[in-house]
Amino acid sequence: MKLKNTILFSLVVLGFAFAKAQSGDCNTMLSIYAENAKAKNYDEAYKQLGQLVQNCPDASPAIYQYGERIYEHRLKKKIGDQNENVKGLMNMLETQINKYADKINVTKKKVELGRVMYKYKQGTQSDQFNYLNETFTSGKEDFTDPNGLITYFKLAEKEYKANALNLEDLFNVYDALTEHLDNVSNERSKIVSELLDKEAEGTITEDEKKNIENQEKNLKNYGIVMKSVNGTIGSLADCDNLIPLYSKDFDANKSNMSWLKNVLGRLQKKDCTESDLYVNSVKALHELQPSAMTAYGLGNIAKTNAEKLKYWDEALSLGIDQKYVANIHYKKAELLRKQGSFGKAKREYILANQAKPSFGLPFLRIAGMVAQSTNSCGNTPFEKRAVNWIAARYANKAASVDPTLRSTAAKAAASYNGVAPSNQDIFLAGMAGKRITFSCWVGESVTVPTP
């Protein structure tokens, strides 16, 4: 009861002070308002917000930043007129965007505003899509909110179904969005991969461990967005739709380099590389302008492994777009792995991941090769089994950088750890804490766990 009376007394004092401050002391008014907002006394702060906006509109961006929280609270708790609350929230966001662009991240606020428009049906569907489309186009680097990305694509899909976007326009949004998701995922996966290397070396800090957790959460969210986007457009953007869509225009565009490049990009992205359209487009473009892109395409349709490797290496030497570098190294690694050249394959797999850090499959493939090499790596039975710890390490790395592989890679890691030396084996061999270096193609070391 004493605490309740103290809080009530404080609110009365603040209310009296605020009323007294209305005579013109904006700083005092703002200070009282901010204290209420910080303490989450949103109902009280709401009473003061209108007076601040009216009497001291330019006093501070904090008026509108706290105002944003206040209106979100009112909407969540269904306090007052919801339409007025929506308008109030939009006003708070718009004022920050228009008046305090130097104090905030404009793109992120625009994404919030676009989501509010969509959630509360403000403006037409086309208004909502066009606003987020302009925001994405002009501020892609900061358009990283997973919910904002999903909202943007949902609106694109709705516009397509309403015949406001044609299939080509929808594909353009899809291409731009998935490329952006790849980029932001790669940035975060690179951080995770580097920190996991530090963890393996025993030099990682507690803050860096927390950073791994945070980045893995980000990657999981982006994986959910990518799955949602691909699930939505999958049947529209598959080979069965792409090939007839572009085949009908091939003869009219076989001398159009821009058109051919666009078609090849789409077909390669969806792995429609066995179609006549793909073969004809590659050859037509190569005749017009031989390039890294056409060399890559010729490698894809080559009949022999030697030809494939020749054209893919040519594509790399000619500086092919980064998004295809990972594919080339992975394709080369697959050929080498199937030939039994594990050492060379490992190098190519690692290069594939370096080109696209969120690409976890190369690590899973390395794990598989390592696990197959237990008889050829290590000098003792214990060491031969210990190589499975290296395999598990790569499988865990695949799970960390690529959310789409998390379940599969985790099962693989558990399987490899299951056939590695047990605690009893470690004790009997007296190997606890010792470092084993494998001189075979694996070329790595592992510290034996201490039971």
Helices (H), 270-358: 276-288, 292-301, 305-317, 322-338, 342-355
Bridge partners of 445, per DSSP, are: 437
Q: Tell me, what's the pLDDT at 238?
A: 81
pLDDT tens track for 398-451? 999 999 999 999 999 999 999 999 999 999 999 999 999 998 999 999 999 998
* CA–CA dist 3, 387 (Å, integer): 63
Please state, in angstroms and as integers, the Cα–Cα distance from residue 434 to each residue in 203, 217, 449, following that order: 17, 34, 8
Q: Tell me, what's the pLDDT at 392?
A: 97
Contact 75, 82 (CB under 8 A): yes
Residue written as tokens 């945070």?
214
* CA–CA dist 153, 221 (Å, integer): 15
* CA–CA dist 296, 396 (Å, integer): 31
- CB-based contacts of 190, cutoff 8 Å, min separation 6: 357
Ranges of each domain in the chain: 1-104, 118-234, 361-451
Largest CA distance in the chain: 87
Residue written as tokens 């950073």?
211
Q: What is the DSSP string of 354-413?
A: HHSTT--HHHHHHHHHHHTTTTTS-SSHHHHHHHHHHHHHHHHHHHHH-GGGHHHHHHHH
**pLDDT tens over the chain, length 451 residues:** 444 444 444 444 444 444 444 545 899 999 999 999 999 999 999 999 999 999 999 999 999 999 999 999 999 999 999 999 999 999 999 999 999 999 999 999 999 999 999 999 999 999 999 999 999 999 999 999 999 999 999 999 999 999 999 888 888 898 889 889 989 999 999 999 999 999 988 899 999 999 999 999 989 999 999 888 888 776 677 888 889 889 999 999 999 988 898 888 888 778 888 889 998 998 899 889 888 888 998 998 898 999 999 999 999 999 998 889 999 999 999 999 999 999 999 999 999 999 999 999 999 999 999 999 999 998 899 999 999 999 999 999 999 999 999 999 999 999 999 999 999 999 999 999 999 999 899 999 999 999 8
Q: Tell me, what's the pLDDT at 234?
A: 66
Contact 81, 62 (CB under 8 A): no
Q: Tell me, what's the pLDDT at 68?
A: 97
What are the two backbone dihedrals, phi and then psi, of residue 24, each rounded to the nearest 5 degrees? Answer: 150, -5
Whole-prediction pTM: 0.66
Contact 201, 405 (CB under 8 A): no
* CA–CA dist 355, 350 (Å, integer): 9
Q: Tell me, what's the pLDDT at 24?
A: 55
* CA–CA dist 17, 253 (Å, integer): 74
Contact 135, 173 (CB under 8 A): no
Identify the helix (H) or strand (E) that includes residue 435: strand 435-437
